[in-house]
Amino acid sequence: MALAIAFLILMVAAPAAVYGAEHTVGDTQGWNQGVNYDTWASGKTFTVGDTLVFNYDSSHKVDEVNLADYNGCSSSNSIKTYEDSPTKITLSKAGPSYYICPIPGHCANGMKLLVNVVAAGTPSGTPPTTTPATPAPPTTTTPANNDSPPPPPPPPKISPASSLHMNLVGVPLVLATLMAVMG
């Protein structure tokens, strides 16, 4: 029983551990001109909680922009600018995210990335991205500890109790029988 519960908990906790995949933008090519990021992103699944890692030298930056600026290669309304390579951006919400290099000419030369972020499969554990990773281990540890101790206590409690009853009832019966036989 305890083992079965532990297994169940492990199986439930496992998906949470898979959480937060890292996607290295452009793989070994990094964040550079002349790379097709549509090709790089195609076939990949970006899930809320995943992280984009941009590797680039000081001749580039990463701007998070809206759709219009992504299409027009404009960084005038940038939502955020990053220049701290390797830039790690955690995808915190479902939907499309757009990134371009704001250096003149670079976006037109391919430095534009669109990722479609999908909600994580688990219903309740989805929103908190960082939280699931931490709670997962405690959840596994706590039940495991709780499971092990409980089993031993119940049996001892039940057996002594019933044997005590037997003794309390049995001793007078034996005495009575003895007295009856002797009398």
Q: Is 103 in the site for Cu ion (CB under 5 A)?
A: yes
Q: What is the nearest approach in angstroms of Cu ion to the Cβ of residue 56?
A: 7
Site residues (CB under 5 A) for Cu ion, limited to 41-80: 60
**Is residue 82 a contact partner of residue 52, using CB atoms and an 8 Å limit?**
no
Name 101's Cβ contacts closer than 8 Å, sequence gap at least 6.
31, 33, 56, 60, 61, 62, 63, 107, 111, 112
Q: What is the nearest approach in angstroms of Cu ion to the Cβ of residue 102?
A: 8
Q: What is the nearest approach in angstroms of Cu ion to the Cβ of residue 129?
A: 28
Amino acid at 29: Q
- Cα 145 to Cα 150: distance, rounded to the nearest angstrom: 9
Q: Which is closer to Cu ion, CB of 79 or CB of 169? A: 79
- Out of 26, 106, 115, 125, which residue is the one contacting Cu ion (CB under 5 A)? 106
Q: Residue 126: in which H helix or E strand, if any?
A: none
- Cα 74 to Cα 58: distance, rounded to the nearest angstrom: 20
**Contact range with Cu ion by CB under 5 A, out of 3-11, 64-72, 105-113, 174-182:** 105-113
Q: Is 112 in the site for Cu ion (CB under 5 A)?
A: no
Q: What is the nearest approach in angstroms of Cu ion to the Cβ of residue 96?
A: 21
Q: What are phi and psi of 61, to 5 degrees?
A: -140, 175
Site residues (CB under 5 A) for Cu ion, limited to 3-32: none
39 CB-side CA count, 13 A: 8
**Contact range with Cu ion by CB under 5 A, out of 64-72, 88-96, 103-111, 128-136:** 103-111
Residues lying near Cu ion in the complex (CB under 5 A) = 60, 101, 103, 106, 111
